[in-house]
Amino acid sequence: MKIIFFCGTLQPGKDGVGDYTLQLAEELSKQGHLVNIVALNDKYAEEDCDSNKLAERISIRIIRLSALSEWKNRLKKATEIVGEFNPDWISLQFVPYAYNNKGLPFNLPYNLKSVFNGHKVHVMYHELWVENRDIKGKLLAFLQRKIIGFLHKMLAPQLSHTHVPVYAQRLRLIGVKAKALPVFSNIPNIKTNINHIEGSFTVGFFSQVTYRKEIIEFLKNLSVGCVNKNLKLNIVVIGGTYNKVEKFIEQINALENMVCTVRHTGFLDSDNVSMALSNCNIGITPVPRHLLGKSGSVAAFLSHGIPVAAPFIKEGYENMDVGFFDQDIVSAIISDANFSCIATAAKKAVEISSRVTPKAVTNNFSIDLS
């Protein structure tokens, strides 16, 4: 197939959706598909640029259209690129803020209809409308919801995807039927020898830490369980912003009756991140439980066969399911600091580890397109 992706920004490491799109495109290219990517509103490109990404089995044309350029000029170039490539599918990677700084891309449906010009369209809904509960937030949510509904009407996509069940439910309310496509891990598993230290139990945070009462309560309960089992509790923060991590470590160390050691790995390259993930007994995430399926850090743990504790439930989502469509993956998620539950989830995490890799998700994507 010939597929052209449209996203907002393609600056590596600066935009999660851009990184996701590039990795998805690379996997498709490895499978023999022809792929172009257009960043339609690149905030990190001072001028428009057109290049090819070349590597083993990979040849992808990457076009970055600068946010500093006039929209009419970018749309003209995008139309020319689509006409020249003549794709079988056009895939829009949608986030409201990717195409407008205020999250209100009013003109996007009109503009893309002319650019896409009768081609088969796919839309990946990475984000929907905001959830703020004040008057300003409610107005913003209302407008974003209207824009998404109009985008669907104007583009009439043959296929839509989203990452989590709660987004699929919201999309159904405005007449959009979206299939499941989870976020994949961007940390390749190097299959290192697992080096669990005898007599210890290691909990890992990856990339993001937040001092939430639910997380602290989980860690306290786990600490008690480790003492009862004569295990030493180790907490390791893999990557993450230095100042934020240091503050988090200070807060953990200040807790009373908390028996553990806490350390920060600092920045690690991909191979060493993989080793650090593999050497955890469980991962733990501050991401709300209903949004787990859109978290790259959660996918990274799971792809390494490591179960994930998700103790944080956002207010108003107490009755919402865990944020995965795949119930086998849900079985690898831990709610309570109970060693019996952890052991069951650990076995399931090994079983489902291959389902959240780039290759597996890309296979699902290409099957749905077919």
Burial of 188 (0-12, 13-18, 19+ CB in 10 A): middle
Work out the pLDDT band at 162, boundaries 50, 70, 90.
Answer: very high
* Identity at 87, one-letter amino acid code: P
Q: Which of 181, 212, 234 is the last residue of a domain?
A: 181
Beginning with the edge strand found earlier in the chain, give each strand of the sheet holding 89-94 in spatial order: 49-55, 58-66, 34-42, 2-7, 89-94, 120-125, 159-162, 179-180
DSSP secondary-structure letter at 306?
A: -
Beta bridge partners of 93: 124
**104 and 241 part of one domain:** no
Is residue 187 assigned to a domain? no
**109 and 170 part of one domain:** yes
C-beta neighbour count of 114 within 10 angstroms:
12
Is residue 363 assigned to a domain? no
Per-residue b or e along 136-173, where b marks 16 or more CB atoms closer than 10 Å to that residue's CB? eeeebbebbbebbbebbebbebebbbbbbbbbbebbee
**286 and 149 part of one domain:** no
pLDDT of 55 above 60: no
- CA distance to 6, 25, 64, per residue, from 81 (Å): 11, 17, 12
* Identity at 339, one-letter amino acid code: F
**170 and 210 part of one domain:** no
Mean pLDDT of the region 263-269: 89
If you write DSSP's letter for every residue of 259-284 in order, what string do you get? Answer: --EEEE--S--HHHHHHHHHT-SEEE
283, 301 in Cβ contact below 8 A? yes
Is residue 308 assigned to a domain? yes
Strand bridging mode 333-334 / 200-206: unpaired
366, 33 in Cβ contact below 8 A? yes
Look at residue 348 in the predicted model and tell me its pLDDT. 96
Please provide the average confidence, as pLDDT, over all residues in the chain: 91
Ranges 130-139, 191-200, 259-268, 358-367: which has the least confidence? 191-200
Q: What CATH number does residue 16 fall under?
A: 3.40.50.2000
Count of domains for the chain: 2
User: Hey, is 54 helix, strand or coil?
Assistant: strand
Q: Give me the torsion for CA of 153, 105, 11, 115, rounded to 10°.
A: 50
Is residue 186 assigned to a domain? no
**131 and 229 part of one domain:** no
User: What's phi and psi for 97, nearest 5 deg?
Assistant: -80, -10
If you write DSSP's letter for every residue of 55-73 in order, what string do you get? Answer: ETTEEEEEEEEETTS-HHH
pLDDT of 31 above 60: yes
312, 193 in Cβ contact below 8 A? no
pLDDT of 255 above 80: yes
Is residue 365 assigned to a domain? no
For the chain, give the percent of residues with pLDDT over 70.
97
**129 and 230 part of one domain:** no
Is residue 122 assigned to a domain? yes
pTM over 0.95: no
Mean pLDDT of the region 60-73: 94
**233 and 84 part of one domain:** no
- CA distance to 72, 91, 173, 236, 335, per residue, from 161 (Å): 28, 10, 15, 34, 27
- For residue 107, the enclosing domain spans 2-181
Give me the residue label for tokens 């959706």. Answer: 17
| H helix count then E strand count, the chain | 12, 14
**112 and 248 part of one domain:** no
**219 and 167 part of one domain:** no
Give me the residue label for tokens 């001092």. Answer: 211
**168 and 204 part of one domain:** no
Look at residue 287 in the predicted model and tell me its pLDDT. 94
Work out the pLDDT band at 148, boundaries 50, 70, 90.
Answer: very high
